[in-house]
Chains A and B, each alone.
Chain A
Amino acid sequence: MDLSKTFLSWPVLRQFSGNDPLGRGTAARSGQTERITARTETADRVARSVCPYCAVGCGQRVYVKDEKVVQIEGDPDSPISRGRLCPKGAASKNLVTGPMRESKVRYRRPFGTEWEDLDLETAMNMVADRVLKVRDETWQDEDESGNKVRRTMGIAGLGGATLDNEENYLIKKLWTAMGAVQIENQARI
């Protein structure tokens, strides 16, 4: 009879006889725990990231294996979050890999009742054509008082606040160059 596999291996005994009096470390480990490996250990790589939800900006580590995100955890190095994530941050893997994510361009034609498929390049070209058309149709050189305005009021945009600074920079730059002034953000809301 292997004594070590009987009552001597009870967690509570190990807790009081070993060096883990609070029972949060080795004392709580079972044989099953020993046999499993964390996804974080077998990942191919890890990226240092930031939680995309609220503005606390908790640090995240994103674990990738076989070109799939296998785990997202709090970054213990972060002076902001010290490794913690709230329910939203902890659900980030679900955000990234969830079943409701779209991966194909969807198109609804005028008066349509269904989504249709559209090739990404075709869609990009269609959008570019529409932008230029509206811009030309609604172009204003001057306001009613004869002041130069150089703009279109036919095109508008509204951005969320989960965009990167670099992305916002390009939006504002492109809008300004197109002469579109109606660009807004969650920051107004």
Chain B
Amino acid sequence: MAEAHPVGFQWVMEAKLRGAKIIHVDPRFTRTSALAHTFVPLRAGTDIAFLGGIINYVLQNELDFREYVVAYTNAASIVSDEYTDPDELDGLFSGFDPETRTYSPESWQYAQQEHEGDTRQDMHEQRETSSAQQFGSHGASVSSALRDDTLQDPNCVYQILKRHFSRYTPEMVEQVCGVSPEAFREVCEAWTQNSGRERTTALCYSVGWTQHSVGAQYIRTAAILQLLLGNIGRTGGGIMALRGHASIQGSTDIPTLFDLLPGYLPMPSASKHPDFQTYVDSIRKPGAKGFWDNSKAYTVNLLKAYWGEKATAENDFCFDYMPKLTGDHGTYRTVLDMIDGKVKGYFLFGQNPAVGSAHGRAQRLGMANLDWLVVRDLVEIESASFWRNSPEIATGEIVPEECRTEVFLFPAASHVEKEGTFTQTQRMLQWREKALDPKGDCRSELWFLYHLGRLLRERLAGSARERDRPLLDLVWDYVPPEHQHEPWGEPSAEKVLMEINGYEIATGRPLSSFTEMKEDGSTLGGCWIYTGVFKDGVNQAARRKPASEQSWVAPEWGWAWPANRRTLYNRASADPDGKPWSERKAYVWWDEAAGEWTGHDVPDFEKTKPPSYRAPDGARGVAALAGDDAFIMNGDGKGALYVPQGLIDGPLPTHYEPVESPFRNALYAQQGNPTRKDYPRPDNPINPSFPDEAEQVAVFPYVFTTSRLTEHHTSGAMSRYLEYLSELQPEMFVEVSPALAQERGLEHMGWCHVITSRSAVEGRVLVTERLIPLRVEGRVVHQVWLPYHWGAGGMVTGDSANDLFGITLDPNVLIQESKVGTCDVRPGRRPTGPALREYIAGYLQRAGLDTGRRTPILTTGTAGSHTDGREADEGAQP
């Protein structure tokens, strides 16, 4: 955190000054470790085992915050007795089908709950379309499950959890993670002693956590632990995702993601959503509790924002205008389709996949096989110049005279040359004022998109083709009157923000809350969770009341979704009766006299619903939420310790080894995530792991991971092209421990190169004790660390660490495993020119990968005779 979010880290230092204990868990000692009380090094890719160990400590010693757990989590819910734990099935949950490598989740459901229709076919499609992302925010939709508030029923979630995590002993943690029992115990004690009524513990993670084949389950493990200890929805608690980009939160809220529409509404699927009603029902799950019940209003308002008066109740608000999904259309699938010649045109808006995405070579070869590429950026990034300076020019794989891709590089306006909002990591929107006009041809994306849309519509004007209706009927009028006389005028970001917020169509009155959205088409709003950002016609995101002039929660600086709530689920900061758990931790509470919720923050609860409220029989949606159902977006109103539906790879997190690992999974026969998304193609080799031959695995004996430097920013497009930052960190380097340096003959400040089955990258050697060899499963493992900021362009150039990774994705969200892999390290510089590919071919041959053979994904006997998911998956390839 001190490295990648330095100014955010000042608050950790504030807490330290006030007596908080700071623990840093990381494969490598960093500036954060230097300022922490305790540093715990662990093997990359073993976080579920580590956190699972703490959960086991909590459960075995019954150190959970019991009142909180019973009232606010699903600990008491009874699960179907058909559920079988990986404990008994060698690492698989019940319902696994080895052919498709997916689960049929029927046995994961709550007991006697009517089954709502998720089947294996659904799971396959959910993996393809990463739809767990939507469930991630929708939660499980379950109405009235059986409960045992004493938590003794063997089938209640609490007991299932207790059995599931009982394998995660301190000895197991030591064996898997390489963490000593003493260090582990210190973390367990600190965490549990600092949680409860009077105290809370915060967990901060950086989003490298998401870059694993079990990434979603990493975060689930954190959620379980923090719920058990009563650290969610309370001040000083929480799970803080330290996101890495100015508006990456905004990029999922108002997504440019293939599977989502604004506000986490799903993109419609061709097979599952034949019509509007089916679509809406699939989101709101009739009968479930909570605010997703109003999904129809959210969808109608979006469609009205898109197609205006053309969208009517009679035509299902133009639902048919939307293109439909038929599977995985994620960025990695798309890049492979470029290599295969299926994608013709590609736009990059301020993104540099040639350096920033996993498997850089595949990215660049894909771009070299397009008809045209449009790059919009501040500088000539590597993704714009791949045709003249990519590593593949040197190897002869891209020859400029033979590369047909037409490239347009449009200079972009910078953050000070346009106005608009960023949403930072705590869901807060901050409006930026425009300081000055951009120079020359530099333009905002708003300008580019608006005018591109205008040109398309002008060219199609008068078309009678059905396919052109969605473009021609689109509401596309963002240039304010004062610029309308200019043919290329700048559109107004405030006008767009007003459409996002939504308004009453007849009067133009801005909506102040998504609860004002109507299902009948009389209001419109482009992103329901952002409704309120223009409350009272005021741009709330532009508020800049100084911190010194308002409360410590600072509600009048910017605006946080939803409804300016700064801490989500803050109803849980009070006890079931609505009283603060303790005076120290008072945050939001029920004011009996006034008959409403009040406190330091905007209550994340219906303002006047008393704690004693119980829903009448047959109630649904928001009315079905009881006065102590703090988790108002979940179908049962409870925080999910156990997830009966929505996750592809199981209702509970389970330790699987990274896809590339020198070790055998010590917990289960199943080695890696059995449901992971892989792309078995010759251009995407994966280094050998169990059950491959030991000699093959040993070709890549070390574990490597990557992260950021304070002085650089992701692919370097905003840092390597700047004098100061380039001077501060001028060169690519590789950190190794003194022991590894000795083992491989690496010289401090000399050159070395790191090799995987995809490529080799070189850098200066930094021999440092920041990397500590760990003892795992009885032998020493060396970890290698690299920053990933370099490429061929900019003021300081170097090899790109992301070239080392292959493409394997988390099945829930289709994010790549790019924070852990296996590698070899050798002294000296890597071969150049065509010799580089020959060098890699030698490794492929020694690793037994030259024949196209792939490591089997399924490694348990229980799964039946079919132990290789390859054929099934290849069948799924078009």
A87 touches B711 (CB 8 A): yes
A127 x B718 contact (CB < 8 A): no
Which one, B175-183, B378-386, B609-617, is touching chain A? B378-386
| Neighbouring B residues of A98 by C-beta, 8 Å | 721-723
Given the interface pairs A88-B711, A169-B500, the reply to whether A156 lies near B400 with Cβ below 8 Å is no
Asked if A13 lies at the interface with its beta carbon under 8 angstroms from chain B, I say: no
Interface membership of B452, Cβ < 8 A: yes
Interface residue? A176 (CB, 8 A) = yes
Does the CB pair B243–A55 fall under 8 Å?
yes
A56, A85, A157: residue with the most chain B Cβ atoms closer than 10 Å: A56
Q: How far is the CB of A22 from chain B (nearest CB, A)?
A: 18
B664 within 8 A of A: no
Residue-wise interface mask of A (145-162) relative to B, using a CB-CB cutoff of 8 A (1 in contact, 0 not): 101111111111111111
Contact partner of B436 (CB less than 8 A), chosen from A67, A155, A164, is A67
Q: How far is the CA of A183 from the CA of B400 in the complex (A)?
A: 27
User: A188 on the interface (CB 8 Å rule)?
Assistant: yes
**By the criterion CB–CB under 8 Å, are B271 and A105 in contact?**
no
Given A56-B8, A184-B331, A165 and B323 contact (CB-CB distance below 8 Å)? no
* B residues in contact with A145, CB < 8 Å: 270-271
Interface-centre pick from B306, B322, B426 (highest chain A CB count, 10 A) = B322
Residues of the A chain whose Cβ atoms lie less than 8 Å from the Cβ of B344: 134, 137-138, 154-155
Q: How far is the CB of B265 from chain A (nearest CB, A)?
A: 11
- Contact call B257/A151, Cβ cutoff below 8 A: no
Is A81 in contact with chain B by the CB < 8 A criterion?
yes
| A171:B349 contact, CB within 8 angstroms | yes
Query: Which residues of the partner chain A approach B428 to less than 8 Å between Cβ atoms?
Result: 57, 80
Q: A168–B254 Cα gap in the complex (Å)?
A: 6
Contact B346 A156 (CB under 8 A): yes
The answer to whether A55 and B257 have CB atoms under 8 Å apart is: no
State A94–B403 Cα separation when bound (angstroms): 34
A164–B418 CB distance below 8 A? yes
Pick the residue among A55, A91, A120, A175 that contacts B724 (CB under 8 A): A91
Contact between B331 and A189, CB atoms less than 8 A apart: yes
Tell me the number of A-to-B contacts counted with CB atoms below 8 Å.
478
B795 at the interface (CB under 8 A from A): yes
Q: Known contacts A96-B414, A128-B456; decide if A185 and B256 are in contact (CB<8 Å).
A: yes
Question: Once the chains are docked, how many angstroms separate the CA of A187 from the CA of B406?
Answer: 27
Say yes or no: B544 contacts A95, CB within 8 Å. Answer: no
Q: Is A37 an interface residue (CB 8 A)?
A: no
Report the contact-size class of chain B (Cβ under 8 Å from the partner). Answer: 35 or more
Q: Confirm or deny: B251 has a beta carbon within 8 angstroms of a beta carbon on chain A.
A: yes
Q: B388 at the A/B interface (Cβ < 8 Å)?
A: yes
Q: Is there an interface contact between B306 and A176, defined as CB atoms closer than 8 Å? A: yes
Q: Is B645 an interface residue (CB 8 A)?
A: no
**CB of B324 within 8 A of chain A?**
yes
Q: Is B409's CB under 8 angstroms from A56's CB?
A: no
Question: Of A49, A121, A179, which contacts B435 at CB under 8 A?
Answer: A49
Is B329 a contact partner of A100 (Cβ separation < 8 A)? no
Say if the beta carbon of A106 comes within 8 Å of chain B: yes
Partner of A158, one of B351, B712, B813: B351
**Residue numbers in B under 8 Å from A189 (CB-CB):** 331, 353, 356-358, 815-816
> A residues within 8 A CB of B343?
153-156, 182
Q: Does B644 contact A (CB under 8 A)?
A: no
- Residues of A within 8 A of B (CB-CB), count: 120
In contact, B334 and A54 (Cβ under 8 angstroms): no
CB within 8 Å for A147 and B411 given contacts A110-B404, A159-B350, A165-B254: no
Query: What residues of A have a CB within 8 angstroms of the CB of B712 in the complex?
Result: 88
Q: Which residue of A lies closest to B242 (CB)?
A: A55
Chain B residues near A85 (CB-CB < 8 A): 7
Instruction: Please measure, in the bound complex, the distance between the C-alpha atom of A186 and the C-alpha atom of B358, giving whole angstroms.
Output: 12
Which residues in chain A, 72-121, are within 8 Å of chain B measured between CB atoms?
A: 72, 75-82, 84-89, 91-92, 94-96, 98-113, 115, 118, 120-121
Within 8 A of A (CB), among B211-266: 242-258, 261-262
Is B291's CB within 8 Å of the partner chain A?
A: no
Tell me the complex Cα distance, A138–B404, Å. Answer: 19
Instruction: Say whether A103 contacts B407, CB under 8 Å.
Output: no
- Contact B324–A150 (Cβ < 8 Å): yes
Which of B271, B442, B710 is A147 in contact with, Cβ under 8 Å? B271
B residues within 8 A CB of A182? 258, 329, 334, 343
B246 touches A95 (CB 8 A): no
CA distance A88 to B708 in the complex (A): 12
**By the criterion CB–CB under 8 Å, are B251 and A49 in contact?**
no
Chain B residues 364-421 with CB under 8 Å of chain A are 371-372, 374, 377-380, 384, 387-388, 400-411, 414-418, 420-421
A170 interfacial by beta-carbon distance below 8 Å: yes
Answer whether residue B95 sits at the interface, using C-beta atoms and an 8 A cutoff: no
A121 to B487, CA, bound (A): 10
C-alpha spacing A177/B453, complex, angstroms: 9
**A158 to B349 alpha-carbon distance, docked (Å):** 6
Complex Cα gap A188–B400 (Å):
30
Q: How far is the CA of A128 from the CA of B545 in the complex (A)?
A: 44
Q: Which of B467-475, B567-575, B690-698, B699-707 contacts A (4 or more CB under 8 A)?
A: B467-475
By a CB distance below 8 angstroms, the chain B residues around A53 are: 245-246, 713, 718
In the assembled complex, the CB of A95 is this many whole angstroms from the nearest CB of chain B, namely 6
Query: Nearest Cβ distance between residue A165 and chain B, in whole angstroms?
Result: 4
Residue of A nearest to B432 (CB): A49
Question: Which residues of chain A are near B377, meaning CB under 8 Å?
Answer: 102
Q: Which of B245, B261, B478 lies in contact with A55, CB distance below 8 A? A: B245
Find the A residue at minimum CB distance from B420: A164
Whether B814 is near chain A, meaning CB under 8 Å from some CB there, is: yes
Mask: chain B, 539-567; 1 = CB below 8 Å from A; 0 = not:
00010111110100010010000000000
> Which one of B443-451, B593-601, B851-859 contacts A?
B443-451
Contacting residues, chain B, for A172 (C-beta < 8 A): 254-256, 261-262
Nearest A residue (CB) for B425: A55
A54-B246, A124-B451 given; A166·B324 CB < 8 A:
no
- B406 and A96 contact, CB distance less than 8 A: no
What residues on A are CB-neighbors of B467 within 8 Å? 139, 141, 150, 179
Instruction: Assess whether A170 is in contact with B247, with CB atoms less than 8 Å apart.
Output: no
Question: Are B350 and A49 neighbours in the complex by a CB distance under 8 Å?
Answer: no
In the complex, the answer to whether A166 meets B421 with C-beta atoms within 8 Å is: yes
Interface centre among B252, B404, B445 (most CB of A within 10 A): B445
CB proximity to A under 8 Å, residues B802-847: 813-816
Please state if B324 and A151 are interface contacts (CB–CB under 8 Å): yes
Q: Does A130 contact B (CB under 8 A)?
A: yes
Q: State whether the Cβ of A41 lies closer than 8 Å to any Cβ in chain B.
A: no
Q: Does B662 contact A (CB under 8 A)?
A: no
Beyond A59-B430, A69-B435, A177-B453: 8 further Cβ-contacts under 8 Å?
A48-B544, A127-B408, A141-B467, A159-B351, A165-B420, A170-B446, A179-B470, A187-B251
Top 5 closest A-B pairs, CB basis?
A57-B424, A164-B420, A103-B440, A161-B245, A160-B350
6 contacts between A and B (CB under 8 A): A47-B434, A49-B415, A56-B7, A88-B719, A127-B374, A163-B247
